[in-house]
């Protein structure tokens, strides 16, 4: 079990803190506004009304013992930056900061923050990707335009072999596994026959994966 702090309990901070609890961690929620704290008082391990721009107030919260801190103050640029600066001055390095826009991102980057998140943009990209590639259930970007993709088969591929599905991108994609109900077939053979409802996890560049999209529907 790990211990996290979430500063700013708006929509993003609330969702993050609740999910961290759901995953079995301890969470300290911090906000200046009692109305933001109130709905979470019974759901998080601790909640505190405090102003994160005030370094002395933050120092009293023993944040050094946290495994990670999320700064989820999106709208108020000044408050987000001062809070982040305070955490850096306290020697805390494991910090995730929500950025509202590109100038916010640029300043955070200059401050040396490694984990800058853009929830709206990232979700927008995901929604667009799901609309564009409806068969892609979920994916992880691995950098350099390489993706790990979970494809859920619901139609035309049924009773076709894996080789016939992947031949368009032959050596450029690697099928990691096929999941059928609770059974997992690791590194499936080329003659593996696909069925309705199978999940296929594959890895490749965006370009190579796109070659497969006509046959994956
Ligand atoms: P979202 O878009 O995720 O709802 P908001 O920016 O609207 O994010 O909400 C941020 C939260 O951060 C609000 O609940 C606000 O009260 C809180 N907040 C703003 N400034 C501070 C601060 N200095 N210290 C702690 N919490 C703050």
Each residue's pLDDT tens digit in the chain (217 positions)? 899 999 999 999 999 999 999 999 999 999 999 999 999 999 999 999 999 999 999 999 999 999 999 999 988 999 999 999 999 999 999 999 999 888 999 999 999 999 999 988 888 877 777 777 777 888 888 988 899 999 888 776 778 899 988 888 878 999 999 999 999 999 999 999 999 889 999 999 988 888 887 776 6
DSSP element (H, E) containing 173: strand 173-180
Distance 116 CA to ligand 1 centre (A): 16
Q: Where are the domains of the chain?
A: 3-120, 133-215
CB-defined site of ligand 1, < 6 Å:
7-13, 30-33, 36, 51-53, 72-76, 79
CATH code for the structural domain at 133-215: 3.30.70.1450
Sequence-distant (≥ 6) Cβ neighbours of residue 38 within 8 angstroms: none
Distance 23 CA to ligand 1 centre (A): 23
Two tokens, residue 86: 């305070």
- Phi then psi dihedrals of residue 75, to 5 deg: -70, -45
Same fold, 3-120 and 133-215: no
State the fold for domain 3-120.
Answer: Rossmann fold (3.40.50)
CB 42 within 8 A of CB 19: no
Distance 121 CA to ligand 1 centre (A): 18
Distance 76 CA to ligand 1 centre (A): 7
**Residue with CA closest to ligand 1 atom 8:** 10
Distance 30 CA to ligand 1 centre (A): 9
Q: Is the ipTM of this complex over 0.90?
A: yes
**What's the confidence (pLDDT) of residue 217?**
61
Provide the 10 A C-beta neighbour count for residue 71.
29
Ligand 1 binding pocket mutation candidate from 11, 19, 31 (most atoms within 8 A of CB):
31
Q: What is the DSSP string of 33-71?
A: -HHHHGGGTTTSSEEEE--TT-HHHHHTTTGGG-SEEEE
DSSP element (H, E) containing 125: helix 119-132
Considering the entire predicted model, what is its pTM? Answer: 0.78
């Amino acid at each position: 079990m790990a211990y996290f702090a979430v500063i700013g309990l708006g929509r993003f901070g609330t969702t993050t803190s609740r999910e961290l609890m759901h995953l079995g961690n301890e969470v300290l929620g911090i906000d200046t506004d009692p109305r933001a704290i109130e709905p979470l008082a019974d759901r998080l391990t601790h909640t505190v009304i405090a102003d994160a721009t005030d370094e002395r107030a933050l120092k009293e919260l023993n944040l050094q013992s946290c495994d990670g801190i999320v700064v989820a103050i999106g709208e108020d640029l000044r408050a987000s930056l001062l809070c982040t600066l305070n955490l850096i001055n306290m020697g805390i390095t494991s910090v995730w900061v929500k950025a509202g826009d590109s100038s916010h991102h640029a300043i955070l980057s200059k401050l040396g923050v490694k984990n800058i998140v853009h929830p709206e943009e990232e979700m927008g990209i995901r929604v667009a990707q799901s609309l564009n590639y409806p068969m892609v259930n979920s994916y992880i970007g691995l950098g350099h335009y390489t993706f790990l993709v979970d494809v859920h088969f619901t139609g035309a591929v049924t009773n076709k072999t894996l080789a016939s599905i992947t031949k368009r991108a032959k050596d450029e994609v690697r099928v990691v596994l096929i999941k059928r109900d609770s059974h997992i077939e690791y590194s499936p053979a080329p003659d593996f026959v696909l069925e309705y409802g199978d999940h296929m996890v594959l890895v490749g560049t965006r370009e190579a994966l796109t070659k497969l999209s006509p046959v994956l529907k």
